[in-house]
Chains A and B, each alone.
Chain A
Amino acid sequence: MKPRVLLALFIIPLGLIIAAVPQNTTKPYKLTADQLLSEANTRTQFVTPETVADMIVNKDPLLRLIDVRSQEEFEKFSLPGAVNIPLTDLLSDQYADILNQDISMNIFYSNGSLNANQAWMITRQLGYTNNYVLEGGLNYWFDTILNPQKPVSTSSDEEFAMYDFRKSAGQALGGGGVVQTEQNQTAASARPVVKTVPKKKKAAGGC
């Protein structure tokens, strides 16, 4: 048969299929609602303050703390080495390389865990991995690391061990009850600047 007719027989059905299928946007949701819900229910995205404190003290290079609060709150106090990505700017292109990668362990934190968990939900749904949430946020951080409660004498050995760990971590991190802003300044010098890494350069094309 005529080549044109043969061609038409092929491309018309293909065209119909592609026209009928919903558009793939550039930021597609990679997870279905069900998948996200089951992941959220397992709560595997949470990391305890002890884990984070440990990583900070040991200068774990994989750690990257992300403060999702506003810039003013960030400047008043932040965890050592944290970068500030306010929740409102979460999807801005400049941060895409920080949030969508598979080398560092990004840990979102906010004052409680609400905003940090929201950040996690959104980025997880976009298919990003290696993002976690600091359990209890800064409020819990203060209670456990910077101002740990001394366990009563009838507490278990583990609780004492935990208390010792927290205390030493807290001291290493400039804790002791009062937010010591001067100490935070020295920690601030280690705070990495949010390198606006140029997003994956699209191919320079054109003729």
Chain B
Amino acid sequence: MTETKELRKTRYLNPYVGGVLLGLVLLSANFIAGRGLGASGALKSTIVATMTTVAPDASERSGFVKEFRESHAGNPMKTWLVFEMLGVLVGGFISGALAGRLKFKVEHSPKITSRKRLILALTGGILFGFGSQLGRGCTSGSALSGMAVLSLGGFITMMAIFGTAFALAYFFRKNWI
């Protein structure tokens, strides 16, 4: 079954308008909470919470949890990022609903199968999950928010992410174009 039946092109915001709006959201985050947006930190919170619930003693001895606890006292799920990511789900849903984009589907290039796309998604996710912990942030937290406050680490991470992706793009081109 081909996925190209949607002839009605879906409408997106002009990217520059979107960018300005994104910048304003980021600005409000910095103004209100003194920090930028983020995503991977919420993942870390969830994993820490799971680890400590499933195996409390072993978890508290793990370096990972200890490092987390150094900057977060209390419930790992009661953090700014977790609440923010819940909002992202809601916001994305509302936007998709308003634009008529709500649909369960696997988005993939016609040149590969759905199955292959899903395997690639899983692999990419694992890599990104690992990398975001090592890099202390993902594109939202490190690159976007980091750039906005002129953080050197943010810039470096951003250049590493995009540089690597550009460098590897040729090898994965069959999956996209």
Identify the A interface with B (CB < 8 A). 3-4, 6-7, 202-207
Contacts and interface: CB of A to CB of B under 8 A. Distances in A.
Given A205-B38, A206-B141, 10 more contacts: A3-B14, A3-B16, A206-B38, A206-B137, A206-B142, A207-B40, A207-B41, A207-B81, A207-B132, A207-B138
A98 B95 CA distance: 48
Interface stretch (B29-37, B57-65, B114-122, B167-175): B29-37
B36 to A, nearest CB: 6
B80 to A, nearest CB: 8
B77 interface: no
A206 B16 contact: no
B52 interface: no
A207 B35 contact: no
B34 A203 contact: yes
A59 to B, nearest CB: 35
Interface in B94-115: none
Interface residues of B, number: 24
Contacts of A6: 16
Contacts of B142: 206-207
A77 B17 CA distance: 66
Contacts of B138: 207
A4 B20 CA distance: 12
Nearest to B39: A207
Interface of B: 14, 16-17, 20, 33-36, 38-41, 71-72, 80-81, 132, 136-138, 140-142, 145
Contacts of A207: 38-41, 81, 132, 136-138, 140-142, 145
Closest 6 CB pairs of A and B: A207-B141, A207-B137, A205-B35, A203-B34, A207-B38, A203-B35
A137 B80 CA distance: 49
Contacts of A204: 35, 71-72
A206 B72 contact: no
A73 B20 CA distance: 59
Nearest to A8: B16
A87 B138 CA distance: 44
Contacts of B17: 3
B154 to A, nearest CB: 10
Nearest to B142: A207
A6 B15 CA distance: 13
